[in-house]
Amino acid sequence: MSFEFNEKNEDKFQELLTRYPKKDSLMLPSLWMIQYQEGWISPEAMQYLAKKLDKSPMDIYSVASFYTMFHLEPIAKYNIQVCKTLSCMLRGSEDIKKHIENKLNIKTGQSTKDMKFTITEVECLGSCGTAPCVCINEDYIQNTTPQMIDEILDGLK
Ligand code: FES
């Protein structure tokens, strides 16, 4: 499997090159473009980006693996991100996570066989005042309860 930017992303990359004095600045926007294009950041895509930015594949990996929003494995259509940081933990995020695992019959870090749902555990989602917080793709669920999870997931099935 190989990777290269589609025409739209290549055009965007070339445009960004004119805006920044250092190619390093294109690291995060390029990773986003890869993820939007492919759904995840594959090893082949990291090698491709490393060549474009004059970096090593390990440089790309070290950045991509630092941020939980970048997926280093294929994920399902709906990525259910459960916050595991203090406020959410104190307000029951562990129980919410177990509820989701039981409902979907998978463990955190796994995807359902139909590739509809993936459960991931993430650090603070920046919504501590409404803990426990869960984020499905880019939509936040706040003051999350098992009943809310049931309604939302049933609606997505
Ligand atoms: S601790 Fe969960 S959103 Fe901040």
pLDDT of residue 69: 85
Ligand 1 neighbours, Cβ below 6 Å, are 83, 85-88, 124-128, 131, 133
Q: Which conformational region is residue 115 in: left (phi greater than 0), alpha (psi within -120 to 50 degrees), or beta?
A: left
Domains of the chain with bracketed CATH = 7-64 (1.10.10.1590), 78-156 (3.40.30.10)
pLDDT of residue 148: 98
Tokens of 117: 């749902």
Cα 127 to averaged position of ligand 1 atoms, centre (Å): 5
pLDDT of residue 142: 97
pLDDT tens-digit profile of 59-118? Answer: 999 999 999 889 999 999 999 999 999 999 999 999 999 999 999 999 999 999 999 999
Spatial separation of the C-alpha atoms in residues 37 and 26, rounded to whole Å:
16
DSSP for residue 1: -
